[in-house]
Amino acid sequence: VLVNGVNYSWGNITVVLFGIPLVGITKINYKRTQKKDNNYGAGNEPVSRGYGMKEYTGSIEIYTDTLKAIIAAAPNRDITQIPPFNIPVTFGGEGVATTKDVLLACEFLEDPLEASSGDTKLMVTCPLIIGGIQR
């Protein structure tokens, strides 16, 4: 029985890279973390909590031919030299509210390739450094 109706699924996500919706993407992940520590004084119980820096990480998994197209357009054919760019991630479709996250000031950290005997498709995971996440 459907309790809450339709939920978000992979078919409801659109990822845009350099103004073009990526059709060769099979996975995206991103997260924000913040360092938090208990501070101790007298005794063995925390007396306060300290908050440190926020960190943003993520990656995209794409088909190798999609990566090759990005490489062809990159400065010196090196994706690690592409200046910072934003990645809009839109969630929407029939029966779900449309929302958008924007990954801010992204850059590729690696130019990967992996292939194994018997592969019927070649996928690459491209790690990203992210400057912020706008929800």
- State mean pLDDT over 40-60: 97
**pTM across the whole model:** 0.90
What is the C-alpha to C-alpha distance for residues 102 and 82, in angstroms, rounded to an integer? 18
The pLDDT of residue 76: 97
CA distance 101 to 23: 18
If you average pLDDT over residues 66-95, what whole number do you get?
Answer: 95
Task: Flag whether pLDDT at 5 surpasses 90.
Answer: no
What does pLDDT average to over the chain? 94
Residue 21's contacts (CB-CB under 8 Å, 6 or more residues apart) are: 14, 15
Average pLDDT of the segment spanning 101-126: 96
100 closest CA partner among 110, 88, 111: 88
Strand pairing report for 85-93 and 46-63: unpaired
- pLDDT classification of 2: cutoffs 50, 70, 90: low
> How far apart are alpha carbons 118 and 97 in whole angstroms?
41
Residue type present at position 60? I
